[in-house]
Amino acid sequence: MPWGNMYEYVLTVSFIGVAAWLVVLWKRPSLRRLGLFLTLVMVLLLAFAELKLYVEVVPLMPALQSYWFVVHVSTIIFASGVFLLGVVPAVAFLMRNGYEQGRRSFPYTLARRLPAAAGLERLTFALHAFSFPLFTFAVIAGAIWAEAAWGRPWGWDPKETWAFISWVVYAGYLHARATPSVRRNVATWIAVLGFLTMLMNLFGVNFFFTGLHSYAGVN
3-state secondary structure of 155: coil
pLDDT tens per residue across span 39-65:
999 999 999 989 988 888 777 777 667
Cβ(187)–Cβ(121) below 8 Å: no
Query: How far apart are alpha carbons 29 and 22 in whole angstroms?
Result: 10
> What confidence score (pLDDT) does residue 209 get?
65
Q: What is the pLDDT confidence band of residue 212, given thresholds at 50, 70 and 90?
A: low
Q: Which uninterrupted H or E stretch holds 68?
A: helix 67-100
Q: What is the pLDDT confidence band of residue 153, given thresholds at 50, 70 and 90?
A: confident
Percent of the chain scoring above 70 in pLDDT: 94
Domain range annotation of the chain: 6-208
Query: How far apart are alpha carbons 60 and 206 in whole angstroms?
Result: 17
Q: What is the pLDDT confidence band of residue 210, given thresholds at 50, 70 and 90?
A: low
pLDDT tens per residue across span 13-30:
999 999 999 999 999 998
Cβ(216)–Cβ(9) below 8 Å: yes
> What confidence score (pLDDT) does residue 168 get?
97
pLDDT at 80 over 70: yes
> What confidence score (pLDDT) does residue 56 get?
82
Task: State phi, psi for 145 to the nearest 5 degrees.
Answer: -65, -40
Query: How far apart are alpha carbons 188 and 87 in whole angstroms?
Result: 9
Task: State phi, psi for 48 to the nearest 5 degrees.
Answer: -65, -40
Question: To the nearest 10°, the Cα dihedral for 70, 140, 12, 187?
Answer: 170
Please list, in sequence order, all residues whose beta carbon lies within 8 angstroms of the beta carbon of residue 82, skipping any fewer than 6 positions away: 16, 17, 20, 127, 130, 131, 134
Query: How far apart are alpha carbons 75 and 98 in whole angstroms?
Result: 35
Mean pLDDT score of the chain: 89
> What confidence score (pLDDT) does residue 57 get?
77
